[in-house]
């Protein structure tokens, strides 16, 4: 039976797509974005044991096979384990089946319009998503994919057939800035931008605006706005240092990007035809 690593499930979220939705966060991401605000979702636990002794609630143990076990009943959600993990991982990941996840979705079902899968990078679990969305569809709910764009949707469009669309991060288009910021070639992301637009499956594009990075911000916003026009939402996100690893805060900024500064880019996007650009 297929299992996937799930970092957490938020039963009711109003920031992960339209309306009230259940958000499923999968563990693991091929990017290593400097500004990631939940870096504990990047890697799977290596069972190094560093966090076990530091747990104030005795919720972590090492079993006879040297695997870290998490006792959710004892856990007080202090996140000490996450803060001190040297591997950008979490000991609280659950390896769940589609039925396990559906159990949680069904409990929330009377109050939600749909389900959004996120991460980490949920498309690393493509086959799992296809099965999950097929089940969610039977409940009459919509399915959205929150993605960093590393998965080539044109090469394997099966998951699009069982979902309503993708919320795509376009973090950087300048090659040098992209290499520095996300440690991953941006080509697939930009290819996805074109493809998802073409097939009507691009629900939203998101770009983070960084303080004092005028040239880089503008290049990305211009590129995206010219591509999407009024074809989908364009969310301009203010960089926030909260959760960002300390060493990268020094590089990117220790303060939130000003609202006016971000609005300048939203206006630029609207001037270029992206009518549905707005700041969050």
260 CB neighbour count, 10 Å cutoff: 8
Smaller CB separation from ligand SF4, 68 or 166: 68
Give min distance, CB of 97 to ligand SF4, in A: 22
Smaller CB separation from ligand SF4, 78 or 199: 78
Cα torsion at 120, 124, 126, 131 (round to 10°)? -60
Point out which residues pair with 61 in neighbouring strands.
Answer: 69
Helix axes of 259-271 and 214-228: crossing angle, nearest 10 degrees:
40
Helix axes of 126-138 and 98-108: crossing angle, nearest 10 degrees:
40
Q: Which of 139, 176, 167, 177 is nearest to 237 (CA)?
A: 167
Smaller CB separation from ligand SF4, 66 or 140: 66
Give min distance, CB of 33 to ligand SF4, in A: 19
Separation CA 51–CA 21 (nearest Å): 32
Give min distance, CB of 92 to ligand SF4, in A: 6
Give min distance, CB of 107 to ligand SF4, in A: 22
Smaller CB separation from ligand SF4, 41 or 164: 41
Give min distance, CB of 8 to ligand SF4, in A: 11
The site for ligand SF4 (CB under 6 A) is made up of 45-51, 55, 57, 59-60, 68, 70, 75-81, 85, 87, 89-91
Q: Which of 112, 201, 121, 214 is nearest to 161 (CA)?
A: 201
Contact 240, 248 (CB under 8 A): no
**Does the bond joining 120 to the residue before it have cis omega, within 30 degrees of 0?**
yes
Give min distance, CB of 88 to ligand SF4, in A: 8
Burial class for 190, CB neighbours closer than 10 Å (0-12, 13-18, 19+): middle
Smaller CB separation from ligand SF4, 61 or 256: 61
Smaller CB separation from ligand SF4, 10 or 251: 10
């Amino acid at each position: 039976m297929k299992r996937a690593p799930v970092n957490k499930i938020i039963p009711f979220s109003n920031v992960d797509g339209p309306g009230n939705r259940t958000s499923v966060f999968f563990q693991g991401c091929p990017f290593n974005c400097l500004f990631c605000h939940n870096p504990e979702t990047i890697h799977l636990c290596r069972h190094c044991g560093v966090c076990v002794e530091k747990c104030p609630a005795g919720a972590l143990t090492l079993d006879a096979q040297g695997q870290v076990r998490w006792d959710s009943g004892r856990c007080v959600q202090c996140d000490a384990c996450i803060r001190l993990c040297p591997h950008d991982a979490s000991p609280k990941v659950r390896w769940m089946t589609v039925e396990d996840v559906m159990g949680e979705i069904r409990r929330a079902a009377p109050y939600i319009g749909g389900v959004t899968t996120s991460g980490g990078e949920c498309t690393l679990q493509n086959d799992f998503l296809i099965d999950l969305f097929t089940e969610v569809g039977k409940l009459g709910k919509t399915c959205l994919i929150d993605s960093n764009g590393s998965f080539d949707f044109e090469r394997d469009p099966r998951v699009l057939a069982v979902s309503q669309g993708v919320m795509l991060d376009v973090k950087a288009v300048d090659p040098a800035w992209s290499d520095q910021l996300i440690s991953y070639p941006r080509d697939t992301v930009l290819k996805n931008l074109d493809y998802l637009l073409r097939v009507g499956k691009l629900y939203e594009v998101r770009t983070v605006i960084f303080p004092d990075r005028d040239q880089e911000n503008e290049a990305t916003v211009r590129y995206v706005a010219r591509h999407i026009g009024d074809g989908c939402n364009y969310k301009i996100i203010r960089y926030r240092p909260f959760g960002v690893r300390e060493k990268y805060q020094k590089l990117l900024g220790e303060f939130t990007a000003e609202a006016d500064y971000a609005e300048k880019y939203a206006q630029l996007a609207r001037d270029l035809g992206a009518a549905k650009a707005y700041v969050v």
